[in-house]
Amino acid sequence: MRPSKADLAPASAAAGRANAWTPGPDGKVVGIDDYPGGLPALFGRGVEGFEARNVRIERPSPLPVGWNASEMLL
C-alpha cells in the first residue's frame, strides 16, 4: 500500500491508517526502519517457526540500487 496525500498530511485528530505515514523531521516516515543490507523479497525479524511452501520469487536482474542480494532475510 502506498500513502496518499491525505496519509502524508493527516488532520490533527486523525487516527489509524490516517496517521500511519507521518513523516518525521528528517522526511522519513516515523517508525519505518531501513532493511539491513537493502530491500529483500521477504523480510522477517523475531520470527520463529516460519514455513513457506510453493513460493515463487521473481526479481529483476540486475537488482536495483538498494535491494539486498539475498532474497530472504529471516
pLDDT tens digits for range 1-55: 566 776 677 777 766 666 677 778 888 877 777 888 998 999 888 889 999 899 9
Question: How far is residue 41's CA from residue 37's CA, in Å, rounded to a whole number?
Answer: 12
For residue 57, pLDDT beyond 90? yes
Question: How far is residue 72's CA from residue 53's CA, in Å, rounded to a whole number?
Answer: 14
21-39 as b/e: b if 16+ CB within 10 A: beeeeeeeeeeeeeeeeee
How do the domains of the chain map onto residue ranges?
A: 1-32, 34-74
Q: What is the pLDDT of residue 30?
A: 77
Q: What is the pLDDT of residue 19?
A: 63
Q: What is the pLDDT of residue 58?
A: 93
Q: What is the pLDDT of residue 23?
A: 78
State how far the alpha carbon of 69 is from the alpha carbons of 8, 32, 42, 46, in Å. 30, 21, 12, 21
